[in-house]
Amino acid sequence: MSERPLQYFSDEYLKNCQKLTPMQIVKFLDDFRILHGRPPEKSKLISIKIPENLLIIFRKKAELEGTPYQSKIKELMKEWSLH
């Protein structure tokens, strides 16, 4: 099991953090979320029947694009839902 890095804070930094207002804390947390990306959206496992020939062609086309086929399906669903 690999160990995660441990971050150390100076006493001065911790004292300054104690002086933050609730709004400054909220701003910090929101900036941190944006910097490190939004939390992943919850996914739902589904089952779908697709004609085999269509799936073979779709998977090959996605492979030629360098995209996993399931990611391509999600991308197309997002595009379609926005129109």
**Nearest CA-CA partner of 77 in 44, 37, 38:** 44
Report whether 49 contacts 55 (CB < 8 A): no
* pLDDT at res. 50: 96
* pLDDT at res. 7: 81
Cα–chain-centroid distance for residue 44?
Answer: 15
pTM: 0.50
For residue 19, being part of any structural domain is answered with: yes
For residues 11 and 35, state if they share a domain.
yes
* pLDDT at res. 1: 58
pLDDT in tens, 21-69: 988 988 888 888 778 876 667 888 999 999 999 999 999 999 999 999 9
For residue 46, being part of any structural domain is answered with: no
Cα–chain-centroid distance for residue 7?
Answer: 23
Q: How close are the terminal C-alpha atoms of the chain, in Å? A: 45
Domain encompassing residue 34: 7-39
Counting the structural domains of the chain, the total is 2
